[in-house]
Amino acid sequence: MKLLVLLLSILSLTNSQEYSFPDDFLFGVATASYQVEGAWNESDKGENIWDHITHVNPSFVIDESNGDYACDSFHRIAEDVQILKDIGVNFYRFSLSWSRILPTGHINYVSDVGVEYYNNLIDELIANDITPFVTIFHWDITPFVTIFHWDLPQPLLELGARVDYAAKVFELFGDRVKNWITFNEPYQICEQGYSIGDLAPGYTQQGIGGYLCGHTILLAHAQAYQRYYSEFSEQGGRVGLVVHGVWGEPETDSEEDAAAAEAFVQMFFGWFLHPIYSDDGDYPPIMKEQIDALSAEQNFPRSRFPTFTEAQIESLKGASDFLGLNHYGAYLCRAANENDSTVIPSHWHDSGVYCYLSDEWEASASDWFSVTPWGLRSILNWIKDAYGNPEVIVTENGFTTTTGDVVDCRRVNYYNTYLQYLLEAIYEDECNVTGYTAWSVMDNFEWQFGYTAKFGLYSVDFDDENRTRTPKMSSYVYKNIIETRQIDTTYTPDGFDSCDADAATALTISALLISISVGLHFIAHYF
Ligand code: BGC
């Protein structure tokens, strides 16, 4: 099986050389406000959950760092837009900081300084022919610790405020912004923020918190989508949702493993897509059945999984103009057994699936993904088959290293191979993919991993007050792909040596990293 995958990979690399990205296919790069802006207390900006957690509990982040200063992008609009121009991207995906625009979290007070910053950024992009692609909620949401009310869960309380905020930014920026993303990655916001607790706000209510949060986000998404069309449709833009999709590859050819891998994709990815893209709407049936049954077995008086009303199901159906797919890698999956250590109750336990990173795959510097370019093609095909081929924009894809070295052959290889599989998905499988976004334009604050994990096409000197940015080899390779609309694995930018020699070293290092990576992965997901 694995040999077959390897052979297919090699074949695919040679085949796809002939394909060119379609003329109307768009390329971009992405960042998120807390990860790059800095200026955490500039003017009247309010505190958000990442300001809060990194200040009260610095060890929440591996290197005890924070985004107080980050890449200082708040003060570097012209410089950063010039970088985008140099790479030649068609669009820039960035996110708005809720607490910078609405310091109290509510629309009772709008910050002039916050609005001016985003106006300047949007205007500078447009002046340089770069389309703004705007995420309303990334992960740095405004906390509402002061409005806990009896036992009403916090995420549900935030629903109204979130929709008000979305409507406010449509009003403020929608004359120039035509591409909106409501939420970035509901799974990560919810499971990691409200169940596992390794992202802010750091709640650890496994098997309950993440489901309530996910429910709220889906409803807020639908309401924001409808507000756009009822109040702002004359702006002529479109509104989508971004979901992180990890591909689940069956561990073996057995039917059981195929079913486990399918259950994994349904319960981790379909969770947020089925309500919007399936004909019947609502959550994936497998998710409802399994969580309802386990809740009853575990003596909960009602299911831990929330239910939608009929009206809510209808409001979610079709409520997205494109699907934003964040994709980094695949897992191998099989049915879980009693020896697999999982928290009970938890989403992983509810799924009945056990997934891991194969030690045959090249590791990244992040414990949660390896280099599996074929997985991108697989997940795009899954979307096409499950939901009737909706428009997909790859809104994030990229590779981590531990250092910001400008000779970044492994990142070059990652982009070349993932984009080759993307071309095959477009041409051979007819997947409806219209754009691609590299994560990220520059090294930045990587959440709980601080500055230890670097995804940038540009390196940033975090010891220098000016946060000097330097292009890496991968930025030139990406530029060449955008310009030529083709993948050329032999392309070597001026001033750099060919990557071949480095590739061998990289593979040796990756073999060493693999065992560490696999261990960390299990720790992150199962304890
Ligand atoms: C998030 C980014 C993050 C990236 C790499 C995505 O899931 O949207 O904010 O930096 O992954 O971890």
**Span 151-198, pLDDT tens digits:** 445 566 678 889 999 999 999 999 999 999 999 999 999 999 999 999
The pLDDT value recorded for residue 3 is: 43
The pLDDT value recorded for residue 154 is: 57
Residue type, 429: D
Q: Which two tokens stand for residue 171?
A: 């009003």
Could you identify the residue written with the tokens 């924001």? 224
Taking the alpha carbons at both ends of the chain, their separation in whole angstroms is 30
CA separation for the pair 423, 489 (Å, rounded):
14
CA separation for the pair 200, 47 (Å, rounded):
13
Which H or E element spans position 354?
Answer: strand 353-356
- Options 3.20.20.80, 3.40.50.2000, 3.30.70.1560, 1.10.8.60; CATH for 2-526 is 3.20.20.80
Nearest-CA residue for atom 3 of ligand 1: 446
Which H or E element spans position 408?
Answer: none
Ligand 1 nearest-atom number relative to CA 455? 5
188 CB less than 6 Å from ligand 1?
yes
CA 221 to ligand 1 center in whole angstroms = 20
Residue type, 184: N
185 CB less than 6 Å from ligand 1?
yes
CA 326 to ligand 1 center in whole angstroms = 8
Among 50, 136, 327, 439, name the best residue to mutate to test ligand 1's pocket (greatest count of ligand atoms within 8 A of Cβ): 439
Phi, psi of 462 (to 5 degrees): -80, -5
CA 61 to ligand 1 center in whole angstroms = 15
Block means of pLDDT (10 residues each) for the chain, length 527 residues? 45 62 98 97 94 95 98 98 98 96 92 98 98 93 49 63 94 98 95 94 93 94 97 98 98 98 98 98 98 98 97 98 98 95 95 98 98 98 98 98 98 98 98 98 98 98 98 98 97 95 46 40 38
Ligand 1 nearest-atom number relative to CA 440? 10
Among 191, 367, 447, name the best residue to mutate to test ligand 1's pocket (greatest count of ligand atoms within 8 A of Cβ): 447
151 alpha-carbon distance from chain centroid:
31
Report domain extents, the chain: 2-526
CA separation for the pair 69, 42 (Å, rounded):
10
CA separation for the pair 345, 351 (Å, rounded):
11
CA separation for the pair 295, 290 (Å, rounded):
8
CA separation for the pair 364, 218 (Å, rounded):
31
3-state secondary structure at position 96 = coil
Q: Which two tokens stand for residue 390?
A: 């909706």
The pLDDT value recorded for residue 104 is: 87
Closest Cα to residue 512, out of 357, 362, 328, 408? 362
Residues 6 or more apart whose CB falls under 8 angstroms from that of 166 comprise 136, 182, 220, 224, 227, 228
What is the phi-psi region of residue 318: left when phi exceeds 0, alpha when psi lies from -120 to 50, beta otherwise?
left
- Active-site residues, by number, are 185, 396
CA 149 to ligand 1 center in whole angstroms = 32
Q: Using one digit for the tens of pLDDT, what is the confidence trace for 381-397?
A: 999 999 999 999 999 99
| DSSP letter string, 441-502 | SB----GGGTTSSB--SEEE-TTSTT--EEE-HHHHHHHHHHHHSS--TT---TTS--SHHH
Residues 6 or more apart whose CB falls under 8 angstroms from that of 340 comprise 354, 526
The pLDDT value recorded for residue 393 is: 98
CA 271 to ligand 1 center in whole angstroms = 19
Closest Cα to residue 321, out of 382, 396, 237, 245? 237
Q: CB-based burial of residue 339 (10 Å sphere; 0-12 exposed, 13-18 middle, 19+ buried)?
A: exposed
Q: What is the pTM of this model?
A: 0.92
367 CB less than 6 Å from ligand 1?
no
